[in-house]
């Protein structure tokens, strides 16, 4: 496990890995690691699946918290910091304290503030071995949107910066009634947003909890919004899956 703070001791993901910000912001909290987050729910949400070689990012205001990593479940539940290892100091969170996870299995992290730890600020995640087929959510949360498939995302940029492996499935998540998603076979159909001759993959009511594609092959695939105005404005994505890396994070 490697750890550090962005801008001081860089910690980078393994090949194909990513930065995973722990928690979420809200109107009251500008930092993702905060006491209002339900970390049990966060850890079991598909979008937050953590793989070996990923880097966890803990963001919190300077001098407001510390992060400890536990190896013992009982110590974790009792917030016994003397049986844990401090991985983020009280000054690391402002820039984002980074912790890389390289071992599959359970990983336990908690706030170093006893009141927060005992109340809620504990993270119990299952790190999945890299190379296991994944569900990859298309897009990302943007200001004003609570679903990753939304018109504020630059999907060309998203596809260029998101590594997707053969065997992964894409997941489209959007509010019920607001969109449809089609898989089209050609670049020409993709460019023209023409869905007239193709079967809908995700209906308007399918994606509230996520509509999943078939596992991807190495061939390019084209997905577009079924609402012409949205597709024409950029709500479409081309993905080419690549061979997965070795199962060992390096």
Q: Which domain holds residue 221?
A: 135-239
Q: Is residue 222 part of a domain?
A: yes
- The better pLDDT of the pair 248, 225 is held by 225
pLDDT computed for residue 47 by the predictor: 79
pLDDT digits (tens, 9 = 90+) for 79-102: 999 999 999 999 999 999 999 999
Lowest-confidence range among 62-76, 106-120, 197-211? Answer: 197-211
Total domain count, the chain: 2
pLDDT computed for residue 209 by the predictor: 86
Contact 200, 248 (CB under 8 A): no
Q: Is residue 20 part of a domain?
A: yes
Rounded CA separation 116/111 (Å): 6
Residue % of the chain over a pLDDT of 70: 94
Q: Is residue 28 part of a domain?
A: yes
Residues 20 and 106 in one domain: yes
Q: Is residue 23 part of a domain?
A: yes
* Reported confidence tier of residue 4, pLDDT bands at 50, 70, 90: low
Distances from the Cα of 217 to the Cαs of 149, 169, 188, 190, in angstroms? 22, 10, 20, 18
Q: Which two tokens stand for residue 135?
A: 């569900």
Rounded CA separation 55/228 (Å): 38
For 15-43, b/e burial (b = at least 16 CB within 10 A) is ebbeebbbbbbeeebebbbbbebebeebb
Residues 85 and 197 in one domain: no
Q: Is residue 9 part of a domain?
A: yes
Residue 147 has pLDDT above 70, yes or no: yes
* Residue at which a domain ends, from 127, 160, 191: 127
Residues 199 and 220 in one domain: yes
pLDDT computed for residue 208 by the predictor: 86
- Angle CA(147)–CA(153)–CA(154) in degrees, nearest 5? 155
What string of DSSP letters covers 113-137? SHHHHHHT-EEEEEEBPTTS--EEE
Here the CATH number for the domain that contains residue 66 is 2.60.40.420
- The model's pTM is 0.66
Residues 13 and 118 in one domain: yes
Residue 54 has pLDDT above 90, yes or no: yes
């Amino acid at each position: 496990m490697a750890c550090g703070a962005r801008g001081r001791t860089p910690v980078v993901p393994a090949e194909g890995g990513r930065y995973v910000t722990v928690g979420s912001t809200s109107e009251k909290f500008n930092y993702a690691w905060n006491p209002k987050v339900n970390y049990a729910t966060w850890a079991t949400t598909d979008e937050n699946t953590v793989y070996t070689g990923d880097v966890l990012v803990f963001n919190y205001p300077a001098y407001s918290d510390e992060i400890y990593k536990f190896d013992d479940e009982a110590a974790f539940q009792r917030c016994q910091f003397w049986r844990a290892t401090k991985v983020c100091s009280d000054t690391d969170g402002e820039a984002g304290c980074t912790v890389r996870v390289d071992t599959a299995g359970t990983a336990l992290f908690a706030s170093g503030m006893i009141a927060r730890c005992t109340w809620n600020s504990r993270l119990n995640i299952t790190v999945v071995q890299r190379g296991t087929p994944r569900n990859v959510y298309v897009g990302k949360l943007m200001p004003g949107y609570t679903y990753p498939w939304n018109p504020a995302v630059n999907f060309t940029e998203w596809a260029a910066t998101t590594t997707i492996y053969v065997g992964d499935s894409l997941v489209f998540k959007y509010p019920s009634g607001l969109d449809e998603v089609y898989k089209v076979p050609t670049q020409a159909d993709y460019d023209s947003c023409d869905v007239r001759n193709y079967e809908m993959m995700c209906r308007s009511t399918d994606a509230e909890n996520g509509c999943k594609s078939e596992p991807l092959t190495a061939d390019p695939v084209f997905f577009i919004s079924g609402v012409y105005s949205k597709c024409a404005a950029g709500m479409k994505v081309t993905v080419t899956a690549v061979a997965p890396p070795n199962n060992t994070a390096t």
